[in-house]
Chains A and B, each alone.
Chain A
Amino acid sequence: MSAEAWQITWFTLGVATLSTLVILPFGVALAWLLARREWRGKSIVETLVALPLVMPPVATGLLLLKLLGRRGILGGWLEKTFGWEIVFTWRGVVIATAVMSFPLLVRTALVAFENVNPRLEQVARTLGSGPWRVFVRITFPLALRGVIAGALLAFARALGEFGATIMVAGYIPGKTATLALSIYNLVQLGHDSEAFGLLAISVVIAFGAVFASEWFLRRRIR
């Protein structure tokens, strides 16, 4: 494996890991809110969260580009406040993959929280635990395998993200080139054998992530 292929692989793994870690607390909190609380606008938020699953990834990418560009509401603020450039940087890759993989985490964690018997939480309340303690000691441990499975699915989705990433971060070798973007670029240039090398790496990593996710889902404590 060439040094470039290694660099692309590590960059992709790093970006996918980071984007998964970034969305994890928000995804878990939102999944719990959707599973356990009734609130105004809940169905709208549920729909918004699912949108990246059904919208063309490039369309999501275009939205992000407008939002995160220097003249965008968020991009302008991030640059002014933290000095962060987003578009055409690794940060753009992280944000694009995070947005695209967020629904998978939320939906899997939501099912995991819904599968926790609410009676257990009620009994824990009568035994002296407040809502936060019940979440930490009862709800979250019982939903943990589902949450891990969701995180692994989100990670796998982040590994393969293409459409939104190319819009927000472009293909810049050594800077924003992920496995998916590099495969596309190599095929465009007619370097099929190198593309197949990266394809093999993608298959192995994605298989491992999805296999682990399924394993966690199957072994969920009921």
Chain B
Amino acid sequence: MVFTEAHSVSVELSRLRLPLAHFTLEVDVVLSGRVTGIFGASGAGKTSLLEIIAGLRRPMAGAVRIDGVVLTDFSTRTFVRPERRAVGYVPQEGALFPHLSVRKNLLYGFSGNHARPTGLTFEHVTGILEIAALVERRIQTLSGGEKQRVALGRALLASPRLLLLDEPLAGLDAPLRDRLLPYLARVRDEFAIPMIYVTHSPDEVLALCDDVVILCQGKIETRGAPAELFMPAARPRFERRPT
């Protein structure tokens, strides 16, 4: 799989269908932004959607294609296993491996077979995320913000063609969120890896995303440019969505 310098990727979610506890996730959309936000309240189906893209869940119907390559297609029984998708996934809690050092966490997916985009070296990634000084530490000694940066670095170093971030700043207090947002912006600007960013924070969408999809009860309510949907004068109804 050859990575190109392009910052965007076409993620085609074609007639996806997955029954969840209280509703059915039904999505039919093509995401093509550099950073696409998926915005919605807790329990809207955002994480399930990311899991389908990452290959961690199989939908009951529909297909997932990235740049035209079929990763999941229910009708033809096609399913590319998660380890062969080159789709990075950073869950909300970071999910660092507690028995490995920071360095071993970062290098976990580093020896993959994917061609590496320019600049995606251990030194560069740890430099951009300012975690170079942490690499010999144990995971248990890291703060919440440090853990999230290490989780982000680990996903980047596996050279994904698409990076899925599942509410990486949720669960952190407001000052820490404000300190971490610039790191995410640096990752967006520095590395040629398109991202899908799940959040329930309009501020994060406005700060990071160039396209946003609003998900409600498993269905896409609307999509558009973040400024159009979230600036108070334009669409105030999405401003104070319960979280």
Stretch at the interface among A9-17, A88-96, A126-134, A172-180: A126-134
Residue of B nearest to A122 (CB): B56
In the assembled complex, B145 has its CB within 8 A of some CB on chain A:
no
Q: Are B98 and A222 in contact (CB under 8 A)?
A: yes
Q: Are B97 and A126 in contact (CB under 8 A)?
A: no
In the assembled complex, B88 has its CB within 8 A of some CB on chain A:
yes
In the assembled complex, B155 has its CB within 8 A of some CB on chain A:
yes
Residue of A nearest to B158 (CB): A127
Q: Are B85 and A126 in contact (CB under 8 A)?
A: yes
In the assembled complex, B238 has its CB within 8 A of some CB on chain A:
no
B154 CB, nearest partner CB in chain A, Å = 7
The B52-99 residues at the A interface (CB cut-off 8 A) are 54-56, 81-83, 85, 87-89, 91, 93, 95, 97-99
Mask: chain A, 111-132; 1 = CB below 8 Å from B; 0 = not? 0000001011011111111100
In the assembled complex, A62 has its CB within 8 A of some CB on chain B:
no
Q: Which residues of A contact B154 (CB under 8 A)?
A: 127
In-complex Cβ contact of A122 among B89, B99, B109 (8 A): B89
Mask: chain A, 129-172; 1 = CB below 8 Å from B; 0 = not? 11000000110011000000000000000000000000000000
In the assembled complex, B112 has its CB within 8 A of some CB on chain A:
yes
Q: Are A119 and B91 in contact (CB under 8 A)?
A: yes
Q: Which residues of A contact B112 (CB under 8 A)?
A: 127-128
Q: Are A221 and B91 in contact (CB under 8 A)?
A: no
Q: Are A142 and B95 in contact (CB under 8 A)?
A: no
Q: Which residues of A contact B97 (CB under 8 A)?
A: 120, 124, 138, 142
B208 CB, nearest partner CB in chain A, Å = 21
Residue of B nearest to A125 (CB): B82
Q: Are A123 and B91 in contact (CB under 8 A)?
A: yes
Q: Which residues of B contact A125 (CB under 8 A)?
A: 55-56, 81-83
Contacts known (A119-B93, A122-B56, A124-B108); A129 close to B98, Cβ less than 8 A:
no
Q: Which residues of B contact A142 (CB under 8 A)?
A: 97-99
Mask: chain B, 144-168; 1 = CB below 8 Å from A; 0 = not? 0000000000110010100000000
Q: Which one of A117, A122, A123, A129 has the greatest number of beta carbons of chain B within 10 Å?
A: A123
Q: Which residues of A contact B99 (CB under 8 A)?
A: 141-142, 221
Q: Which residues of A contact B91 (CB under 8 A)?
A: 119, 122-123
B110 CB, nearest partner CB in chain A, Å = 9
Q: A127 CA to B164 CA in the complex, in Å?
A: 12
Q: Which residues of B contact A128 (CB under 8 A)?
A: 83, 109, 112-113, 158
Contacts known (A122-B56, A126-B87, A128-B158); A117 close to B95, Cβ less than 8 A:
yes
Q: Which one of B51, B54, B91, B95 has the greatest number of beta carbons of chain A within 10 Å?
A: B95
Q: Which residues of A contact B56 (CB under 8 A)?
A: 122, 125-126
Residue of A nearest to B92 (CB): A119
Q: Which one of A122, A126, A127, A130 has the greatest number of beta carbons of chain B within 10 Å?
A: A126
Q: Are A127 and B155 in contact (CB under 8 A)?
A: yes
A3 CB, nearest partner CB in chain B, Å = 46
Q: A127 CA to B85 CA in the complex, in Å?
A: 9
Residue of B nearest to A133 (CB): B83
The A27-82 residues at the B interface (CB cut-off 8 A) are none
Q: A123 CA to B93 CA in the complex, in Å?
A: 11
Q: Which residues of A contact B95 (CB under 8 A)?
A: 117, 119-120, 122-123
B20 CB, nearest partner CB in chain A, Å = 17
Mask: chain B, 25-55; 1 = CB below 8 Å from A; 0 = not? 0000000000000000000000000010011
Q: A98 CA to B97 CA in the complex, in Å?
A: 34
Q: Which residues of A contact B82 (CB under 8 A)?
A: 122, 125-126
Q: Which residues of B contact A117 (CB under 8 A)?
A: 95
A124 CB, nearest partner CB in chain B, Å = 7
Residue of A nearest to B98 (CB): A221
A2 CB, nearest partner CB in chain B, Å = 47
The B116-162 residues at the A interface (CB cut-off 8 A) are 154-155, 158, 160
Q: Which 4 A-B pairs have the closest CB atoms?
A: A127-B109, A125-B82, A126-B89, A128-B112
| CB<8 Å pairs between A and B, sample of 26 | A119-B91, A119-B93, A122-B54, A122-B56, A122-B95, A123-B89, A123-B91, A123-B95, A124-B97, A126-B56, A126-B82, A126-B88, A126-B89, A126-B160, A127-B83, A127-B109, A127-B158, A128-B113, A129-B108, A137-B108, A138-B97, A141-B99, A142-B99, A221-B98, A221-B99, A222-B98
